[in-house]
A and B are shown apart, each in its own frame.
Chain A
Amino acid sequence: MTYFDRFAIPHPSPAIYASMVAIGLTVIAILFGLTYFKKWGYLWREWLTTVDHKRIGIMYLIAALLMLFRGGVDAIMLRAQTAVPDNTLLDAQHYNEVFTTHGVVMIIFMAMPFIYALMNFIVPLQIGARDVAFPRLNALSFWLFFMGAMLFNISFVVGGSPDAGWTSYFPLAGNDFSTSVGTNYYLLSIQIAGIGTLISGINFMTTIFKMRVPSMTLMKMPMFTWTALITNAIVVFAFPVLTVVLLLGTMDRLFGTHIFTMTNGGMDMLWANLFWVWGHPEVYILILPAFGIYSEIVSTFSRRNLYGYKSMVASIVIISFLSFLVWAHHFFTMGQGALANSIFSITTMAIAIPTGIKIFNWLLTMRKGRIEFTVPMLYTIGFIPIFTIGGVTGVMLGMASADYQYHNTMFLVAHFHYTIIPGVVFAMLAGLTYWWPKMFGYMLSEKIGKWAFWFIAIGFNVTFFPMFFTGLDGQARRMYTYSEATGYGPLNLLSFAGAIVLMAGVAILVYNIYYSTRYAPRNIGSDPWNARTLEWATQSPVQSYNFARTPHVESTEAFWDHKKKGKPLFKGKIEKIHMPNNSGMPFIMSSIFFVWGFSFVFSMWIPAIITTIAIFACMAHRSFEKDDGYYIPVEEIEATEKDSEVLTDETR
């Protein structure tokens, strides 16, 4: 391949040229707008250099919503192509690229930042902390993730998208069968984002262990914080495996090693093994925070404490252990024999037990409650039946002999969407709606929100339920088309119709954000939901230092106890608060990482070497830097807290 051929798109189409133009115009518009309104300085000071966990959370949120849009467009394209037999909307190559990027974008660049958005914003507040343990590293995590996502997203206009599936099995993903640079993008962009995630994992574990207010013992932590802790523990153990497997894949593709090749002693099964050693825990990284969010919401809107708190904690800990013991269920059909399959079947199905405990605990929390059907609660109530279907089909898939029939079919596709969509997307929308007033100081419209919920819930079921049947009827996943004679046509058409409804639901949601931003009342106080946990005990939007004084906690629902039983929440007097300085370094270093990744994708060694050195230079610079942060003086805090309810009802 000559040098410039690499940059060519392997299968140019009008859609891609149109996107190129659209991307170009958007960039110009943004640059122009920033210059015209003189917002460069603001952007740099307040956002690009910020180390405030709340701002970082909001940036994660924006990135996740953008990626939800990107992945959603991909999804509609996929369903449109398969809506009728022998469709020619997309060709095979284009379809392969679209489902690959859809999977990667949704799991790595949508779901992950979404959970980190909420964890960033909420966890420090729930534990009464000023920030995360390492604020600057936190910024680095975000920017690494962001640059990884951007690197992945330019693939389809520069050099071509990956086309070997989000699981990227070798040898298909190797140089022999994937000749464009697409898989290089896959390997390097996920690598960069993954390093960011690993750093976050360490950061949040440290935060939760070390930064809690002194009175908050582990068993007094709110459930969302518990799930965040365990999730980050899984991250810390699982992501190094991803780092290694991506590195090995990169060596195969760029440096001619033979780790996963068909010849010279390469072993393609090794990829499947290592990928899923990370991949299965990854699905629990996505689901556990969702469990935490639902736990908060269900008890808030049932007006009751969470039923079985201890068993909830125990079950997430057990799930986190088991999630590492089941990876081989993703390749029961790889010829590993009946014994190995039996063992992995049992460990897999065992996960259903702690998961079931949680479902029943939520149900029992609602029992004897006073259930209010707010939008977050609707998502929670919708989640329970849908996720139950996902869970029971998961148990069915876990039975090895039966999985020989389900594997690689639409049945599997239906299963994981039935877990991931209620588990991640619903949870995130629920959490977003629930915590929106905390983040922005106003509420999203309940009425529009309910419309969005119903469109999304109905659209989802109409889209994915038919797939259980086409799967059992022999429709393999990842087929870009099928013949009329197979009889898959009608159900696939139904599924496309569902996808349209689902998309309409998301459009309503976007409209809700627009509408509420313009018209929603701003004087809602700091606790509009009558909630129970600490994050609601501070102003909305939250002041930079979170809490003026350290809260005092005696139970998992300190704020509720304070409201109902009059337990004092804040003791002592206001003192000056130490805060970290902003820093441009995380952004700069991550931008260098972007160029570094791009250079490797196209095997451009000179920039690769220069950027590698630059990255180490940044780290060296940091290690010699003296930066003690600054103090917020007492007067300033008192001025900020002047109107705060928290302050008035206690100290005076």
Chain B
Amino acid sequence: MRMKWAFLSVVIGVLAVLAGCEPVMVLDPKGPQAETIADVIWISIAMMAIVVIAVFGMLVYIVTKYRASKQSADYEPPHIEGNPIVEGIIVGIPIIIIAVLSIITVKSTYVVEATPEGYEDQKPLVVYASTSDWKWHFSYPEEGIETVNYLYIPTDRALEFRLYSYGPITAFWIPQLGGQKYAMSDMITTLHLAADEPGEYMGRNSNFSGKGFAENVFDVKAMSPKEFEEWVDEVKKTAPTLTEEKFEELLLPGHLGRSTFSGTHLEFSPPPEGHGSHGDDADASEEHGDHDE
């Protein structure tokens, strides 16, 4: 029995340490998409806590009440096949819980797959984010600039990331702005994000992609639209042009610090958009977004 108390105090100790910590990234959202997901997570934690408490409570109660050491020597446990009412409850309540969670899931999944709420009428900032072993290339086609391993974004503007990879499957993830999505070599996946607050966030490839995976990270800086404009102008004026040779060099495996270029690689190394409708960007990305398999 002493062991059981030791066990409980360990668990309580761990929880106490954890409670003292800063809010974890996923539950500290800085954009509408991450916020939607954080809400879903909190609701699911609450609903699941009910289940956990019910099971734990029943277990502790039954195990203390019906232990052999507390019973008279001649107690013969009864033979019980089952009971329709009890079985109805243990099937019915989970069905209700799962139904509620399903509705929440479907709704929120459509929300995070679309342009963030409140930004539907403005034109999103399109950024092509591609990976090569083990770097991130961010191309801003409208601005005509490209960065490596860091990402500047304006706040209060819808962002549309188009993800693909020059190597193994990777995943683009900025936990405080929203969920991750895979980047693959033969198709584009689209991720809609937005940032509400200026600040610096962690971004990384979250899908294992070989030796350099752990360091396959990028810094994200969200700034006011005005500052963003200024930065773009600055880059255009000062950064060297991205040539095809230079880009080929960047693609070689290895790690790099940050670099900045004017011009993008999209012209000489086009993304795997395919599927005909090249002209209409919005439609094309929709189509890719739904593309299965």
Give A contacts to B, CB under 8 Å: 92-93, 96, 163-165, 169, 171-172, 177-178, 262, 266-270, 273, 302-305, 307-311, 331, 333-342, 345-346, 349-350, 352-353, 356-357, 359-361, 363-364, 366-373, 381, 384-385, 388-389, 392-393, 395-396, 398-409, 454, 457-458, 461-462, 465-466, 469, 472-474, 476-482, 486-487, 490-491, 494
Could you tell me the distance in whole angstroms from the C-beta of B68 to the nearest C-beta in chain A?
Answer: 5
Q: With A and B bound together, what is the CA distance between A384 and B62 in angstroms?
A: 13
Is A466 touching B14 in the complex (CB atoms < 8 A)? yes
Could you tell me the distance in whole angstroms from the C-beta of A596 to the nearest C-beta in chain B?
Answer: 29
B32 at the interface (CB under 8 A from A): no
Q: With A and B bound together, what is the CA distance between A19 and B45 in angstroms?
A: 45
Is A400 touching B109 in the complex (CB atoms < 8 A)? yes
Say which residue of A393, A396, A494 sits within 8 Å of B14 (CB atoms). A494
Say which residue of A266, A333, A356 sits within 8 Å of B179 (CB atoms). A333
- Quick one: which of B159-218 are within 8 Å of A by CB? 167-169, 171, 173, 175, 178-182, 184-187, 189-190, 202, 204-214
B268 at the interface (CB under 8 A from A): no
Is B213 touching A333 in the complex (CB atoms < 8 A)? no
* Contact of A480 with B214 at beta-carbon distance under 8 Å, contacts A172-B169, A345-B105, A349-B98 already known: yes
Which residues on the A side are within 8 Å of B11 (C-beta)? 461, 465
What are 9 A-to-B residue pairs whose CB atoms are below 8 Å? A172-B168, A172-B208, A268-B185, A363-B62, A370-B66, A370-B71, A370-B75, A405-B180, A482-B214
Given A336-B293, A357-B87, A366-B62, output 18 extra A-B contacts at Cβ < 8 Å: A302-B66, A304-B77, A335-B182, A337-B289, A364-B86, A366-B66, A370-B75, A371-B63, A392-B52, A399-B104, A401-B111, A405-B175, A408-B208, A465-B11, A466-B14, A473-B26, A474-B25, A476-B173
Could you tell me the distance in whole angstroms from the C-beta of A548 to the nearest C-beta in chain B?
Answer: 30
Q: With A and B bound together, what is the CA distance between A302 and B181 in angstroms?
A: 48
B78 at the interface (CB under 8 A from A): yes
Is A356 touching B94 in the complex (CB atoms < 8 A)? yes
Say which residue of A373, A399, A407 sits within 8 Å of B67 (CB atoms). A373
B58 at the interface (CB under 8 A from A): yes
* Contact of A404 with B67 at beta-carbon distance under 8 Å, contacts A337-B290, A367-B62, A384-B55 already known: no
Which residues on the A side are within 8 Å of B56 (C-beta)? 385, 388
Q: With A and B bound together, what is the CA distance between A369 and B98 in angstroms?
A: 31
Minimum CB distance partner of B209 in chain A? A172
Is A388 touching B51 in the complex (CB atoms < 8 A)? yes
Output the residue of B95, B109, B175 with the most chain A CB within 10 A: B109
Say which residue of A270, A372, A389, A398 sits within 8 Å of B68 (CB atoms). A372
Could you tell me the distance in whole angstroms from the C-beta of A344 to the nearest C-beta in chain B?
Answer: 10
* Contact of A366 with B63 at beta-carbon distance under 8 Å, contacts A171-B185, A401-B105 already known: yes
Output the residue of A395, A461, A466 with the most chain B CB within 10 A: A395
Minimum CB distance partner of B21 in chain A? A469
Q: With A and B bound together, what is the CA distance between A321 and B51 in angstroms?
A: 24
Is A402 touching B41 in the complex (CB atoms < 8 A)? yes
Which stretch in B2-10, B119-127, B220-228 binds the other chain?
Answer: B2-10
Q: With A and B bound together, what is the CA distance between A340 and B109 in angstroms?
A: 10
Could you tell me the distance in whole angstroms from the C-beta of A430 to the nearest C-beta in chain B?
Answer: 16
Is A478 touching B213 in the complex (CB atoms < 8 A)? yes
Output the residue of A370, A373, A401, A482 with the most chain B CB within 10 A: A401
Is B36 touching A401 in the complex (CB atoms < 8 A)? yes
B267 at the interface (CB under 8 A from A): no
Which residues on the A side are within 8 Å of B112 (C-beta)? 401, 404
Minimum CB distance partner of A331 in chain B? B182
Is A267 touching B105 in the complex (CB atoms < 8 A)? no
| Nearest 4 A/B pairs, CB to CB | A404-B179, A335-B189, A172-B168, A392-B48
Is B44 touching A402 in the complex (CB atoms < 8 A)? yes
Is A349 touching B102 in the complex (CB atoms < 8 A)? yes
Output the residue of B66, B105, B202 with the most chain A CB within 10 A: B105
Minimum CB distance partner of B95 in chain A? A353
B292 at the interface (CB under 8 A from A): yes
Q: With A and B bound together, what is the CA distance between A171 and B132 in angstroms?
A: 13
Is A345 touching B102 in the complex (CB atoms < 8 A)? yes
Q: With A and B bound together, what is the CA distance between A311 and B84 in angstroms?
A: 10
Which residues on the B side are within 8 Å of A93 (C-beta)? 211
Minimum CB distance partner of A373 in chain B? B67
